[in-house]
Amino acid sequence: MHTTDLSRRGFLMATAFGLAAPGAAFAQATDWKKLPDAEWRKRLSQASYMVLRHEATEPPGSSPLNKEKRKGVFACAGCGLELFKSDWKYESGTGWPSFWTVNKGAVGTKTDFKIGVPRKEYHCARCGGHQGHIFDDGPKPTGLRYCNNGLALKFIPA
């Protein structure tokens, strides 16, 4: 079962069987994927809005999260879904926060052809907000690099 396609009944069943995405709160009543554009503009800074809702990319090296070393979690800046544990972050040298894995069920993917070659884009499973792209040049054990826009994340210290 994919948490990206859950109805209310499906969400309750997934929660009961432990299949709901990490950070999915039982009391969460917001249907994040149906929020109107005007509401997203109110909730987010202009820069975060452009990344999360219109798949923009922040300049490399511009995110303060590149230097974040504390224990905690990195959550979607749009809806708060916990995407990454701080232990999964590493310095990729790319200029964007990078992680070698993601919380199970926390993201959905699609193929992006915006630069003329196929790339695997990932987005928040709860609100659909654009996070970044997945590359196969990461460290062990996965060999993956989740290259994330810092503007699409918020850090929650442990």
Provide the pLDDT for residue 114.
Answer: 84
Convert the pLDDT of each residue in 42-95 to its tens digit.
999 999 999 999 999 999 999 999 999 999 999 999 999 999 999 999 999 999
Tell me the catalytic residues.
147
* Residue 5 falls inside a structural domain: no
* Residue 24 falls inside a structural domain: no
* Residue 19 falls inside a structural domain: no
Q: How many residues does the chain have?
A: 158
Q: Are 97 and 106 in contact (CB under 8 A)?
A: no
Q: Is the pLDDT of residue 8 over 80?
A: no
* Residue 67 falls inside a structural domain: yes
Question: How many domains, in total, are found in the chain?
Answer: 1
Domain containing 130: what range? 33-157
Share of the chain above pLDDT 70, in %: 82
* Residue 9 falls inside a structural domain: no
pTM value is: 0.79
Convert the pLDDT of each residue in 127-148 to its tens digit.
999 999 999 999 999 999 999 9
Q: Is the pLDDT of residue 14 over 60?
A: no
* Residue 134 falls inside a structural domain: yes
* Residue 136 falls inside a structural domain: yes
Strand order in the sheet with 72-76: 82-85, 72-76, 153-157
Provide the pLDDT for residue 29.
Answer: 58
* Residue 124 falls inside a structural domain: yes
We report the CATH number of the domain holding residue 104 as 2.170.150.20
